[in-house]
Amino acid sequence: MKPTSSVRILHFWILYLSSNVSIPAWAEPQHLKTSGIRPTNLQHPGNRLHILPLLLWSKRPSSGDDKRTTKIPSNFTILPPEDPSVSRYREYLRTNTSHPNPNYDTAVAWIKEQAQAIGIEYKKIDFDPPGLFIIRLKWPGSDPMERSSLLLNSHIDVVPVDSSKWTYDAFAAVKDDKGNIYGRGAQDRKSQGAQYLEAIRRLKMRGFSPRRTVYVTFVPDEEVGGDRGMATFLKASEFMDMNVSLALDEGAATMDDVYPIFYGERSVFRVRITATGRSSHTAMMLKDNAATKLNKALGLLFVFRDEQINASNPDGNIENVTSINLSQIGGGTSPNAVPSEIWAIVDMRLRLRPTWTFSNLTNLLDSICNQSGNGVSYKVLLNLEIKEESSLSESDFWWRTIRKSFDEMGWKMKPQIFAGASDARHLRKAGIQAYGFSPLLFTEQLGHQDNEFLNENTFLNGITVYEKLIPKLANARE
């Protein structure tokens, strides 16, 4: 143990002998004993000579010298390294696939890279006119001839962002210190696409091989109706050859521990209510007034809206509820002229059933217009009938398999009708049994909202869910 500088030794020795410094912990008698050094009374300056070499050695400068290190605040936590699955999901979130002009290239390249790394077949299927496409990954089953295949669908596109309302860049996938990952699509539905891929990656690494062929599709335009993606794909020969019988598609987050499973969707009934009256200068106040009539009509409609809200089940099951929302209102040409015509667009969502059809709504609107005065009428802008529902019957093979799988895993579920519309409706129309399921428990539903985020642990738990569910479905015997 050669001293590096005699000046340093002398300086130290003078300081040490003349000071009242406490003995370092390692030089306490009990420690010296275990190191084979004879303990002495170290408080006596003369005896300190024994441990001089050790003291010098312990004082040598090192890179981690505490005097040169910034003080670490007491609330500072050192984050564990990020799970690589989370890092890959964040890469996907950084692709800007938002409407109205989604840029698919980086997202598609990401999907291709994942498929290649996992070792499953990647195919981009293009349709006419150019620009329409879907991405299809294929994990071949060991006995596909006897079994129909399983389809895991999610969409690449996301709804637009009003960046002035976001705390972080919506395409930076920022993760805060709680592990919340912010990004458009964090829930709806890049989480789901990334979770499918991670589950398959893990299953393949474990050596699992499915009996049925498992397909993973990534579609480009779910958020604007799905006509160019899923609906087009379902008519293509590539789809026919896949022999799909069961599809999983998007679901929704839930605040509790009960997974919502969506087996159907509500139909859309959209109308424009128009009221007419006499035009005049705003300084006059004529009785025949368009706005007064529209106000009356909307008032009556909102009584019905309140009834529906009152009828809503507190658990969020809206299957027997008709939602009514005023989305646009307009009319008039100048701030000082009373318009002769004023209008409102009202969007309604309903579950069609034998006792509740579009004609119940037209009856209601007829009556409302009649009560609101002369010159009040409505025009149907959209009547999108969504009747197909996937089975909830115990005699149905797929429903029984899903329900039993959930039971075996101890997962709770609540089958229900989806509040919005998704590509699952196209699948159901094509005769495929489709269930909407997103494994996002204890999570506020934030799809389409500002500052959409998902916690990394929720994301990771969802991978585990698919990792257990996919083998059950892929190996189920009909």
Ligand X SMILES: *[C@@H]1O[C@H](CO)[C@@H](O)[C@H](O)[C@H]1NC(C)=O
**Which amino acid is present at 295?**
N
Catalytic residue among 198, 221, 222, 452: 222
- What is each CA distance from 171 to 156, 231, 241, in whole angstroms? 14, 28, 37
Q: Is 309 a residue that touches ligand X (CB under 6 A)?
A: yes
CA distance 94 to 97: 9
> Which of 40, 279, 323, 377: binder of ligand X (CB under 6 A)?
323
> Which of 40, 148, 180, 383: binder of ligand X (CB under 6 A)?
148
Residue 408 burial (10 A CB sphere; 0-12, 13-18, 19+): exposed
226-265 footprint of ligand X as x/- string (CB under 6 A): -----------------x-x--------------------
Catalytic residue among 28, 128, 143, 157: 157
CA distance 292 to 15: 95
Contacts of 27 (CB under 8 A, 6+ apart): 42, 51, 54, 55
168-207 footprint of ligand X as x/- string (CB under 6 A): -x-x-----x------------------------------
Rounded to 5 degrees, what are φ and ψ at 241?
Answer: -70, -15
**Which amino acid is present at 153?**
N
Q: Is 325 a residue that touches ligand X (CB under 6 A)?
A: yes
In the complex, the smallest distance separating the C-beta of residue 318 from ligand X, rounded to whole angstroms, is: 7
- Are 141 and 474 in contact by the 8 Å Cβ rule? The answer is yes
> Which of 46, 64, 73, 80: binder of ligand X (CB under 6 A)?
73
> Which of 178, 313, 387, 408: binder of ligand X (CB under 6 A)?
313
Sign of CA dihedral 338, 340, 345, 350: positive
Q: Is 362 a residue that touches ligand X (CB under 6 A)?
A: no
> Which of 205, 374, 382, 431: binder of ligand X (CB under 6 A)?
374
Nearer to ligand X, 195 or 453 (CB): 453
- Are 180 and 455 in contact by the 8 Å Cβ rule? The answer is yes
Write the DSSP symbol of residue 360.
Answer: H
| Tokens at 208, concatenated | 């699992």
Write the DSSP symbol of residue 384.
Answer: E
Q: Judge whether 222 counts as a catalytic residue.
A: yes
Contact footprint for ligand X (CB under 6 A):
73, 75, 96, 98, 101, 145, 147-148, 169, 171, 177, 243, 245, 303, 305-310, 313, 317, 319-320, 323-325, 355-356, 360, 370, 373-374
Known binding site for Zn(2+): residues? Answer: 155, 188, 223, 250, 448
Catalytic machinery residues:
157, 222
